[in-house]
A and B are shown apart, each in its own frame.
Chain A
Amino acid sequence: MTAKAIKLDNIVKAYGTQKVLHGVGLDVAAGEFVSMLGPSGSGKTTMLKIIAGFEDPDSGSVSIGGRPMTGIVPEHRNIGVVFQNYSLFPHMDVASNIGFPLRMRGMSKAMQKDRISSVLSLVALDGLGARMPNELSGGQQQRVAIARAIVFEPDILLMDEPLGALDRRLRTDMQLEIKALHERLGITIVYVTHDQEEALSMSDRVVVFNKGRIEQVGHPREVYRHPSSLFVADFLGDSLALSAHINGTDIRLPGGLMTAGTQSELPEGAVKLLWRPDQMEVAAPIDAVTLQERRLSVPAKVLTAAYAGTVLRLRVELSTGDIGIVAASDRANIAAGESISLVLDLDEATILPLAASDDIPGARR
């Protein structure tokens, strides 16, 4: 299959007075697996519909393989789309569903048959061509949908929360299968999801959407470990954010402590110092905030403790009033209401400016 690159240039879209995309730009390389991640209403699905041609942007343009898509109807774009809830044609059997795009392209019956059987074995559904969609399990239906979307060798493949309707176990299996399929076919994939685990585990790059804008684009590790905003930090997983203040190169910490920032390009003013759950150590309770060799110890109180398999997921309130999530070993016997302290390495912290408009969803958890 020939993979093609996608170029989104300053896409703006509004429904009535509701602006859903405020000038989105993105380059997806040929053969890349890019996830669009964001809460519902963040514009990611609208973006997908615009790439597919189901919606036209108010301004801006989409190009695929260097070819501008403006004015090109969906059926002429040669894009495979996999929808949530399978969307198989219920009046056609599996083979006719998969053969549909081939039939629309006027392919001979014999060639259709070859293609259908080879794509069926690609998605591990050999011999199920004569089944009707309602005779298949959810996972099987989604495989048929994927087969139907790739059988005509599309230039790119769009997936709109394709695993949303499946249960957790099946979802994990399918994630691996889709990833394997991507590696095998080398096709460009744009994958829309609101599940950060899915986005992080599958993609070459993650694009985080918020309120119709792209918040951050990067490799999964980069967006997880170095979020560019509190929104991204919070959306991609648990964290603890400590309020601090920066003055030049001085970081003013709670408890009247001061330290020098080692990070280059420090923001000015109110900031949050952010750690992921695995970057903190739980220690014995202490009375006051202390700083020792760039390691900050902060007294904290456990609000809730939830057992989550290999770790205990603790929701803690620091003596500074900040609330966050910490992972403790499940062998540590910590219960809600207990006093503990957290040891935080200042050199591991991600420093995020606290813009006035930023709401801090993490604080509410």
Chain B
Amino acid sequence: MSTSHQESRTASLGRLALLVPIVILLLAPSLVILPMSFSESRVMSWPPRGFTFDWYVALFASGQWVASSRHSVEVALLSTAIALLLGVPAGLTLGLKVWRWRELTLALVVVPLVIPTVVLAIGMYKVYVWLGLHDLLGLAAAHAMIGVPLVVITTMSSARQINPVLLLAARSLGANPFKTFFFVTLPLARGGVISGAIFAFVTSWDEVVIANFLSSPTYRTIPVQMWAQITERVDPTVAAMASVLFVVSMAMMAGVTVLRWSRSR
């Protein structure tokens, strides 16, 4: 075996030695929830005892959980749609055009990501009550605000890879600005748009702080429902729900990764 091969093997072993503890450290707290959701104990406890699907059965039988799942999907879909509608044109413009206030515009767009969510939530609560925005519309609007910068950033980074001459070429070949957008610009920025959409969806799906302020007892998303349940009684249905959430989120992020990987090849 050649030395370079051995060296690279040592290097990859070293990397693995670093990676494994980091992954465990990051994921272990979340993974604890998985065994607890199968525990026979009536309260959430560690270590888990026995093995049962009871809590999953209870979860899917409960009207409250089913309703909150539906609400979560509605809010996530609607907010993602709004985020795409606003964020894609903004991201493409920021990625393709250069103007004097470009950096400032970008900074302003990103602001919702850096303001503490609680601060946002309190402000929104006041304003949205006054506007009469709550439940689905209120939540979707609020989550779209967080989603827009995510879509803008991913779309912009894709748009930056586009050779601007391609857009001139399209025009010279007979495409008006509208057709140029749909046949050239958008397909070329597709990767960024899709990952932005997934990020926006997952963010809305997981969001609890703003949702807590803007939801009502009759319109709760999953995280809000979980929060409410944990403060009332600690039964492992929450663990079951958390496990479902965890798996869905992981699956979506895996989707983004696979997408990026397949595009980069």
Contact = CB atoms under 8 A, between A and B. Distances in A.
Interface string A76-102: 011111010101011100000000110
A83 B187 contact: no
A307 interface: no
Nearest to A106: B174
Contacts of B188: 89-91
Contacts of B174: 75, 78, 101, 104-105, 152
Interface stretch (B64-72, B113-121, B126-134, B163-171): B163-171
B102 interface: no
B166 A87 contact: yes
A100 B173 contact: yes
Given A54-B171, A73-B171, A74-B171, A89 B176 contact: no
A100 B165 contact: no
Q: Is the interface of A mostly helix, strand, loop or mixed?
A: loop
B183 interface: yes
Interface string B143-179: 0000000000000000000010110111111111001
A101 B174 CA distance: 6
A148 interface: yes
B96 interface: no
A199 interface: no
Q: Which 5 A-B pairs have the closest CB atoms?
A: A104-B174, A101-B173, A81-B172, A74-B171, A87-B169
B176 A87 contact: no
Q: Is the interface of B mostly helix, strand, loop or mixed?
A: helix
A73 B166 CA distance: 16
Contacts of B170: 89, 100
A79 B174 CA distance: 9
B253 interface: no
Nearest to B172: A81
A3 interface: no
A342 interface: no
Interface in A234-286: none
12 contacts: A75-B175, A79-B172, A80-B172, A81-B168, A83-B165, A85-B165, A87-B168, A91-B188, A100-B170, A100-B183, A104-B179, A152-B173
A81 B169 CA distance: 7
Contacts of A87: 163, 165-166, 168-169
A336 to B, nearest CB: 44
Nearest to B175: A104
B34 interface: no
B245 interface: no
Interface in A98-136: 100-101, 104-105
Interface in A157-192: none
A73 B172 CA distance: 9
Nearest to B171: A74
Instruction: Output the residue of A52, A53, A83, A89 with the most chain B CB within 10 A.
Output: A89
Nearest to B179: A104
Nearest to A54: B168
A91 B187 contact: yes
A160 to B, nearest CB: 9
Contacts, number: 59
A95 B38 CA distance: 56
Given A85-B165, A87-B166, A89-B184, A52 B176 contact: no
A162 to B, nearest CB: 12
Instruction: Output the residue of B165, B166, B172, B176 with the most chain A CB within 10 A.
Output: B172
A49 to B, nearest CB: 8
A52 B167 CA distance: 13
A78 B169 CA distance: 12
A75 B169 contact: no
Contacts of A74: 168, 171-172
A87 B171 CA distance: 12
Contacts of A105: 174
Contact of A73 (B163, B169, B176, B183): B176
A53 B200 CA distance: 39
Interface in A33-85: 52-54, 73-75, 77-81, 83, 85
Contacts of A79: 172
A249 to B, nearest CB: 54
B147 to A, nearest CB: 26
Contacts of B187: 91
Given A91-B188, A104-B179, A52 B173 contact: no
Nearest to B166: A87
B184 to A, nearest CB: 6
B171 A148 contact: no
Interface in B217-234: none
Nearest to A102: B174
Interface in B167-205: 168-176, 179, 183-184, 187-188
A302 to B, nearest CB: 46
Contacts of A77: 172
Given A75-B176, A148-B173, 7 more contacts: A53-B171, A74-B168, A79-B172, A81-B172, A85-B165, A101-B173, A149-B173
A198 B167 CA distance: 28
A74 B163 CA distance: 18
A194 to B, nearest CB: 18
Contacts of B183: 100
Contacts of A52: 168, 172
A353 B114 CA distance: 67
Instruction: Output the residue of A77, A79, A83 with the most chain B CB within 10 A.
Output: A83
Contacts of B179: 104
